[in-house]
Amino acid sequence: MPKTLILLFHRDLSKSHANAALSRAAAHVPGVEVVDMQARYPDGVIDMATDAAHEAQALLSADRIVLQFPIQWYSTPALLKAWQDAVLTRMFYMCAEAEGDRLAGTPLMICATAGNVPGAYRRGGVNHFTIDEILTPLRATAHRCGLLWQAPFIVFAADRLDDAALAAACDGYAAALTGGVQAVSEPQGIGAG
């Protein structure tokens, strides 16, 4: 069975409304492993020699990689940037032949939650820029690393979803994880508009 590795970056899952529920739903999908990266690296430090070697092997053992996180200041949580700086730098600059080159071709999906509503993420909306534009640095990273960019799964209004909307988001996430690889770029959106 193909293996999907979800790396979850959330500062405090005990206070999470959306990501905690989404990750619980994902963990029930066959072939999916969810890793709470904050629990693994509580001090935010990822050592490039030791920790990153372990993370590299985990990525290489996966058939699909998912990076899941809440959008914070139109960007990713700091631990995700630390993971990129340690793990991707190791794999693609220090150990390219042994590690980075072997990861090329692996699909990458983003699952991001946003506090604001879809209408905020467009020209004329309060956030002016689209989610696709905000995810551009990650897409550029995927391009540099030869990862196949899948349609991002976005949950809007993530703090204020009622039980039914949160359940629908979880179902949508599970379906996206169950479905085959879609190398398309339009975000799939869930949430109040």
Ligand X SMILES: Cc1cc2nc3c(=O)[nH]c(=O)nc-3n(C[C@H](O)[C@H](O)[C@H](O)COP(=O)(O)O)c2cc1C
Position 73 contacts ligand X (CB under 6 A): yes
CA dihedral for 144, 147, 150, 155, sign (positive or negative): negative
Which tokens hold the place of 4? 């999907």
Three-state secondary structure call for residue 151: coil
Position 150 contacts ligand X (CB under 6 A): no
Position 17 contacts ligand X (CB under 6 A): yes
Which residue in 5, 9, 16, 32 binds ligand X (CB under 6 A)? 16
Which residue in 5, 7, 19, 150 binds ligand X (CB under 6 A)? 19
C-alpha dist (Å) from residue 50 to 47, 64, 93, 179: 6, 23, 16, 34
Q: Decide if 68 contacts 176 (C-beta within 8 A).
A: no
Q: Decide if 8 contacts 35 (C-beta within 8 A).
A: yes
DSSP 79-97: HHHHHIIIIIHIIIIISII
CB of 38 to ligand X, least distance (A): 12
Which residue in 68, 76, 106, 113 binds ligand X (CB under 6 A)? 113
Position 193 contacts ligand X (CB under 6 A): no
Which tokens hold the place of 171? 């179902």
Closer residue to ligand X, CB minimum distance, 72 or 84: 72
Measure the N-to-C terminal CA separation of the chain; round to a whole number of Å. 37
CB of 98 to ligand X, least distance (A): 35
| Among 27-35, 40-48, 53-61, 72-80, the segment contacting ligand X (CB under 6 A) | 72-80
| Among 10-18, 28-36, 88-96, 182-190, the segment contacting ligand X (CB under 6 A) | 10-18
Which residue in 36, 53, 74, 148 binds ligand X (CB under 6 A)? 74
- Smallest Cα–Cα separation from 141: which of 70, 74, 89? 89
Position 80 contacts ligand X (CB under 6 A): no
Position 70 contacts ligand X (CB under 6 A): yes
> Which residues make up the interface to ligand X (CB under 6 A)?
10, 16-19, 70-74, 113-116, 158-159
